[in-house]
Structure 1
Amino acid sequence: MSKVVLDVSMSLDGFTAGPNVRAEESMGDGGEQLHEWMGGAGPDADVRREVDSAVGATVIGRRTFDLGLRPWGGTPWPGVPSFVVTRRTRDDLLGDNGGTFVFDGLEAAVRRAKEAAGDKDVLVLGADVAGRLLAAGLLDEVYLHLAPVLLGQGTALFGGGRGDLIPAGEPVAGAATHLRYRVRSGATRGAGRARLIDPMWVSTP
């Protein structure tokens, strides 16, 4: 059965993009450092292959779509259908690399993405939409790639959403530290950040 998985790189101080996100710098100032592990070998390459092989569809926040379309040249994974969460719906868009973007509301986008993914994962792209999915009880797992970078400011993960994340597997150490979590069903919602239940972490108030 398809799972909805947030796959995200994050700085040590909790940001998924640097400050001043804009069209010319879609990851903000210094934010591209978060993804440097993707070009690595060894454990990092193994993790990258694992993620790529598991994706069957994506759910993307509208802001992430607007910033990412040009550098992606289409959908983030060639040929993989992507569902953009937005109130401003439009006709489907065929990307240059063969993938199709579909525009819909949150719950409809998740439902359609899971249907399209089959037995593969639905990957979530965008901190804001990740927070909305967490609050709605629609997020199943978090695959966190912790980069040894301090950005100082930027886009915070989950945008203030609250929930309990339970370790699912051992950490993998490479240029980044790769951590997988399962979202506890029925977790408390409201103000505050997601709480990582793991002896490696200190709970975030």
Structure 2
Amino acid sequence: MSKVVLDVSVSLDGFTAGPNVRRAEPMGDGGEFLHSWMSGTESADESANEVDRTIRGEVDDSVGAVIIGRRTFDLGLEPWGGTPWPGKASFVVTHRARPDLVGDNGGTFAFTGLREAVARARAAAGAKDVVVLGSDVARALLRANLLDEVHLHVAPFLLGSGTRLFAGEQAALVPARAPRGGSANHLRYRVAPRPGPVGWTMAG
């Protein structure tokens, strides 16, 4: 069965986006620096750049389907066509139903609830991973015991404020691979099972 994986770049002080997230700046003020490692050219150390390029390739190769929060989808539709992975089946978790949408990147976006999104995304992903986009939906998946792994790319920036990752949530994380250092530090964890899902609410 495919894994449900949150793969996210985060600042050293724990933010996945800067302050003032808006359509013109979907990563918030300064938030674009979190993804600078993805260029594979950020460091003066070529060995660090090679690590970043390898990690970026692993992420892209792993994606079989995407679960995305509604706000993240709305913000990302213009710059990315919905997600950074063209043609991948994507499932937008929302309480506001609408017909399926074919994005500019060729992906089909279905709008549905949390558990149905997970079931459909797993089926669409086959042997690959279901990658999660959006802090709100990631928290909802964690609370519902539906998140299998957390992959962090810790960028050497202090944003000071913005969107916190897992704000207020508690979970035990088990290292899934030794850390790898490029221009960001790349960490992988398995989410330890909890006794059972609890109720969740999410705007969207």
TM-score by length of 1: 0.90
Deviation sequence 1:18-72 (CA, Å, 0-9, x none):
0000000000000000000000130000000000001000000000000000000
Equivalent residue, structure 2, for 1:34 = 34
Structure 2 residue 61 is the aligned partner of structure 1 residue 47: no
State the SS of the aligned residue for 2:127. coil
Equivalent residue, structure 1, for 2:73 = 65
1:16 & 1:121 partners in 2: Cα distance? 21
- Give the % identical residues: 67
Structure 2 residue 140 is the aligned partner of structure 1 residue 97: no
CA contact under 8 A between 1:59 and 1:109: conserved in structure 2? Answer: yes
Equivalent residue, structure 1, for 2:96 = 88
Q: Aligned ranges for residues 94-173 of structure 1 at < 5 Å?
A: 94-173=102-181
Structure 1 segments, 4+ long, off by >2 Å, are 73-76, 187-190
CA contact under 8 A between 1:161 and 1:189: conserved in structure 2? Answer: no
Q: Which runs of 5+ in 2 are unaligned?
A: 41-48, 199-204
1:101 & 1:14 partners in 2: Cα distance? 29
Q: CA deviation at 1:189?
A: 8.0
Residue 188 to residue 158, structure 1, CA distance change in 2 (3 Å): farther
Say which of 155, 178, 183 aligns to 2:186.
Answer: 178
Deviation sequence 1:72-129 (CA, Å, 0-9, x none):
0244201101100000011000011211011000111111000000110000000111
- The structure, 1 or 2, with the larger RCO (C-alpha pairs under 8 Å, 6+ apart) is 2
Equivalent residue, structure 1, for 2:3 = 3
CA contact under 8 A between 2:82 and 2:103: conserved in structure 1? Answer: yes
Q: CA deviation at 1:159?
A: 3.1
1:9 & 1:177 partners in 2: Cα distance? 10
1:101 & 1:189 partners in 2: Cα distance? 26
CA contact under 8 A between 2:90 and 2:121: conserved in structure 1? Answer: yes
Q: Which runs of 5+ in 1 are unaligned?
A: 191-205
2:108 & 2:159 partners in 1: Cα distance? 33
CA contact under 8 A between 1:59 and 1:122: conserved in structure 2? Answer: yes
Residue 184 to residue 92, structure 1, CA distance change in 2 (3 Å): same
Deviates more, 1:70-79 or 1:24-33: 70-79
TM-score by length of 2: 0.90
Q: Which amino acid aligns with 1:185?
A: P
Residue 92 to residue 189, structure 1, CA distance change in 2 (3 Å): closer
Deviation sequence 1:106-156 (CA, Å, 0-9, x none):
111111000000110000000111001000000000000000000000000
Q: Which amino acid aligns with 1:48?
A: R
Q: Aligned ranges for residues 185-200 of structure 1 at < 5 Å?
A: 185-186=193-194
Q: Which amino acid aligns with 2:177?
A: G
Residue 187 to residue 14, structure 1, CA distance change in 2 (3 Å): farther
CA contact under 8 A between 1:58 and 1:82: conserved in structure 2? Answer: yes
